[in-house]
Amino acid sequence: MEWKFFDTGRPLEYSSMTGRIRAKALEMGFLDCAVVPAGALEKERTCLNRWMDEGMHGTMEYMARNMDKRLDPRLLVEGARTLVIVLHNYYSPEQSADPEAPIISRYARGKDYHQVIKNKLHELLRFIQTEITPCHGRAFTDSAPILERAWARRAGLGWIGKNSMLIHPRYGSYFFIGELIIDAEIPPEPMTEIPDRCGTCTRCIEACPTRAIISPRIVDARRCISYQTIELRGDQDPALTPLFRNRLFGCDICQEVCPWNRKATPHHEPAFHPLPGLLQLTRTDWDTMSEEQFNDMFRESPLMRTGYQGIRRTLRNLKS
């Protein structure tokens, strides 16, 4: 294989196993990749427990299940020794033609990312199995009880910003995180966890319309527009709906104001381009869309998570 130079801001040692995996991942179009030994996330246990005890997960009861697996991937995949963490860009600067059109979060404008990322992870796994070391493994992205941001931070891919997102010093935070959990031991490169670089900045905290970031790195999901518009089943909080700022599915405000996202560059993944016609929809088009039209347009989209009725619910509240 001909190695190319990829500038992730971290040195790439092509002769090591980890270096070859990282180089392959970058060649496949991932923004960055790191390898980290599997183990328990002890530091995160206390924070997670406190967050759950305060009820900040709202109705996301699945968060309370599999807590041990969430904190230790060795309980999720038998014989797990190594995590290969990847980041995949989804940033696009394109906006709706109608400035009054309800806003869909950037990550959700194209096809559903789960299968796209998993397919690429399976290709990376095949490379590891054939070129690096025999192993078994499983691929995940936002689909299993894994604290992905915590693992990416531990792997040296960034720090957790005050908005609770993983921030990569070269790329900001508009990316999906995915991981392979494999049963082979792969010596990691010397890892340096990146220290917090938020400094005295508090832009995300100040910009959050619903005051969901109650303190640095602690988001009360119940107040977060992403939770209210996607995860919540049932009625949205009437005290919060007037603060939704026209966000129909998800919210990017605390990322949009983050100075590190000035570094974001557009992705090159065709599956993540906005669905045909999406950015041309006007406010009226959304209001008059039938269920059949919705299902036609969004059948491969993350919007199917709430489905037509979930979108109608938010649309009604955006009007009030």
Q: Which amino acid is at 271?
A: A
The first and second tokens of residue 31, run together, are: 């923004």
Distance between CA atoms of residues 309 and 312, nearest Å: 5
Is residue 122 near ligand SF4 by the rule CB under 6 A?
no
CB of residue 172 vs ligand SF4: minimum separation in angstroms?
9
By CB under 6 A, name the one of 82, 163, 306, 314 that touches ligand SF4: 163
Query: Which residue lies nearer to ligand SF4 by CB, 147 or 258?
Result: 258
CB of residue 306 vs ligand SF4: minimum separation in angstroms?
16
Query: Which residue lies nearer to ligand SF4 by CB, 113 or 244?
Result: 244
Query: Which residue lies nearer to ligand SF4 by CB, 73 or 250?
Result: 250
Tell me the residue nearest to ligand SF4 as measured from the CB. 161
Contact criterion met (CB below 8 Å) for 307 and 126 = no
Query: Which residue in the list 32, 68, 142, 252 is annotated as catalytic?
Result: 142
* Range 182-201 burial, b when 16+ CB lie within 10 A, else e: bbbebebbebeebeeebeee
User: Can 183 be counted among the known catalytic residues?
Assistant: no
By CB under 6 A, name the one of 210, 301, 306, 314 that touches ligand SF4: 210
Is residue 102 near ligand SF4 by the rule CB under 6 A?
no
By CB under 6 A, name the one of 198, 275, 281, 311 that touches ligand SF4: 198
Stretch of residues binding ligand SF4 (CB under 6 A), selected from 42-50, 90-98, 111-119, 256-264: 256-264
Distance between CA atoms of residues 34 and 302, nearest Å: 27
**R_g of the chain, CA atoms, integer Å:** 20
By CB under 6 A, name the one of 128, 166, 248, 251 that touches ligand SF4: 251
Among 185, 187, 142, 149, smallest CA distance to 166 is for 149
Stretch of residues binding ligand SF4 (CB under 6 A), selected from 69-77, 91-99, 219-227, 275-283: 219-227
Stretch of residues binding ligand SF4 (CB under 6 A), selected from 75-83, 156-164, 267-275, 309-317: 156-164
Is residue 219 near ligand SF4 by the rule CB under 6 A?
yes
Stretch of residues binding ligand SF4 (CB under 6 A), selected from 50-58, 121-129, 184-192, 210-218: 210-218
Is residue 194 near ligand SF4 by the rule CB under 6 A?
no
Give the active site residues: 142
Residues that bind ligand SF4 (CB under 6 A): 161-163, 167, 198, 201-204, 208, 210, 212-213, 219, 224-226, 251, 253-254, 257-260
